[in-house]
Structure 1
């Protein structure tokens, strides 16, 4: 589906956001103002640099790049979840960074279409870097017009982590692979005062798990249709919603899951308060060693008649890419040097070895220091992959879907109400 955001809409929306956007969150307004004025400064806007997974490795890479390029200053601007909004505001002022490191989701889906960033296909090919990219990643970053939105970089596996020690304590002998087994395990865990499945039902983590469960009865093509159009009325989508509601009302999810967020979810699992979590690889990398050694990774349990023959996981190659801005095109020689450096096998390997990151680039390196990440990489044919809906959900529906997620995780909400709430998220599209 073509994004409803037009160039005029982008400009109008950005002007309304300007007053509310926290520009000081960048490394100072003066840094932003210099973004396109200094030909010997490369400005990179990213979420890496503070506590985000991979930040120490990234900062070390910047240090090495600066040492190799003494005549080129590199300025790293850092934002968190508001990066896309801050970038759009800076672009309106024509003071945007040269390179942006962010995922393909929500606002960013429209950037290349409205000229906020440039098609990088000619650079990917011209610089000879296409062969470094996994084919699945290149497909994911290519839009319907054949444009490559950004240089792919971070990927992620998204399995389900099971604390074997807590399951044993509750008398659960095997990792659940069916819905009935999961419900039985949840009852045993609750009897021991242990939360079964912890989930951020009030943010994106819950939205992803809900989407995963709904896809239990959907093929990939059917799931793509559902999340592109918001049509949850087909038989498979209805069965998936019914399955979710049955699990929820049987007590599978932690108490008050509709109010939890990713941080509380992670805390519950990492402190042994909950036995099961659906966790992306960057989160698996942060599981404490004393918990990780008792943890197994697998997929989400299936229901009878599922469209998949094995428990499911999510996987995506669009976690972080290097987007080139119109300002970056003016400094394309500097951008080329930077991206060639970041694409080097040794640079990629350090992210895998030091930070436990999954990469969208080809590499034989394995996350040996992050056993759960490595275990997720080895799952292979033991699990079935379902669709991560991010690149198919229209930007206008992304945040409403998170609100719908909280409603869905509220116990007692009927399947019909869950469906109506999900479909309502698409009304403004």
Structure 2
């Protein structure tokens, strides 16, 4: 599969940069790239998203402890990947980029947009601070560690017991029969059973989780690298299982048009009994709903490859990437990375920000009860593969479009397989 941003792509895009104006410090380009006493950080840690206030606080602490360093923060949202690539073509990129491993970023180290950091992880004495599985997830097939792992996530199912009990459901479902029966009872009371953003990444992740019901982790990794959903018996069975649940009324009405915002609103306002929620979403559940909510795994059906209801878990939500500009001021970058890996700094993201970490910590998100519960699920649930690092970057967005097709009532399993495979042909 071709990377969407190979070296030729960088050169072609660079030809048009003369017409691109310089952007402000809260956008993209910066005029501080060549200043050895200035550290430019580019991240998505803006607004009030879980962990963002903590990030701003610890950066300010770093400033106070290092008055000889000027720290500039660049903030972008979902467009960070494109903004960074454009700034890199202008040789005006930030020194450190804090972003997840997904879509565009998968190819950055391969094409030289960022540099491998394995040598720095060892040279700076930080390897023992990182959860070993996080190192594995951030390492590409050529053995290059793409970035310093930092934030991870648990991704369980949240169950609102108050709504379940109102519908006469005594406990969260753990099997497909129980899930379908619960959905029927909930609908009888006018309650949405399982809300999901079927028109964005949340639906794509849930669909991937359900498809893996009949797949081993190795089979799942192969499937999401190659996209042969028709050639895999396990994938065929998983898609058929999804269709059975959809047609039984398990998912929200018009799920194919819902987004993650709509999903969380439905759950947080007590209008839906279940949702698939990563830790950042769990951290935003209001107190009145938290009190009646538990977390667990997605129900299984007969013949499943897993032994326990499943969750997703990943260590690739955010890491610190070093750019070519950053290599020109490594002592400054090292001071910042070492600071961010201090135990007391890492713990603040857990206790204050409600985040799961890819760095070793014993802290629990006690001020975010659902996040803490998810952190303690351990062996009570099974775990399936988050497909993000295996899906070819060019197929990522087309797969979300295919997900909307999957959640559309009446769409057959065969049509869903075709839509998913078409997303890979675009790559």
Contact 1:40-1:73 within 8 A present in 2 as well: yes
Identify the residue that residue 317 of structure 2 maps to in structure 1. Answer: 319
Which consecutive unaligned segments of at least 5 residues does structure 1 have? none
- Following the alignment from structure 1 to structure 2, what is the Cα–Cα distance between the partners of residues 264 and 303? 28
The offset of 1:9, in angstroms, is 2.2
Which shifted more, 410-419 or 7-16?
7-16
Contact 2:27-2:75 within 8 A present in 1 as well: no
Identify the residue that residue 303 of structure 1 maps to in structure 2. Answer: 301
The offset of 1:135, in angstroms, is 0.4
Contact 1:22-1:86 within 8 A present in 2 as well: no
Which shifted more, 45-54 or 386-395?
45-54
- Following the alignment from structure 2 to structure 1, what is the Cα–Cα distance between the partners of residues 192 and 25? 39
* Equivalent residues in 2 for 1:249-398, closer than 5 Å: 249-398=247-396
The offset of 1:408, in angstroms, is 0.5
* Equivalent residues in 2 for 1:141-220, closer than 5 Å: 141-220=138-217
The offset of 1:24, in angstroms, is 4.3
Contact 2:22-2:30 within 8 A present in 1 as well: no
Contact 1:15-1:89 within 8 A present in 2 as well: no
- Following the alignment from structure 2 to structure 1, what is the Cα–Cα distance between the partners of residues 191 and 374? 24
Q: 1:43 aligns with which of 40, 43, 64?
A: 40
Which consecutive unaligned segments of at least 5 residues does structure 2 have? none
Contact 2:135-2:145 within 8 A present in 1 as well: yes
- Following the alignment from structure 2 to structure 1, what is the Cα–Cα distance between the partners of residues 22 and 31? 14
Relative distance call for 1:329 and 1:404 in structure 2 (3 A) is same
- Following the alignment from structure 2 to structure 1, what is the Cα–Cα distance between the partners of residues 395 and 308? 30
Relative distance call for 1:258 and 1:357 in structure 2 (3 A) is same
The offset of 1:66, in angstroms, is 0.4
Identify the residue that residue 418 of structure 1 maps to in structure 2. Answer: 416
Per-residue deviation, residues 175-232 of structure 1 (Å, max 9, x unmatched):
1011111111011111111101000000000000000000000000100111000011
SS of equivalent residue, structure 1 residue 326: coil
The offset of 1:33, in angstroms, is 3.4
- Following the alignment from structure 2 to structure 1, what is the Cα–Cα distance between the partners of residues 24 and 309? 42
SS of equivalent residue, structure 2 residue 153: strand
Identify the residue that residue 402 of structure 1 maps to in structure 2. Answer: 400
- Following the alignment from structure 1 to structure 2, what is the Cα–Cα distance between the partners of residues 374 and 265? 21
- Following the alignment from structure 1 to structure 2, what is the Cα–Cα distance between the partners of residues 194 and 115? 51
The offset of 1:295, in angstroms, is 0.3
Q: 1:230 aligns with which of 227, 231, 236?
A: 227
Contact 2:4-2:104 within 8 A present in 1 as well: no
How large is the Cα RMSD of the aligned pairs?
A: 1.6
Identify the residue that residue 8 of structure 1 maps to in structure 2. Answer: 8
SS of equivalent residue, structure 1 residue 425: helix
- Following the alignment from structure 2 to structure 1, what is the Cα–Cα distance between the partners of residues 157 and 341? 30
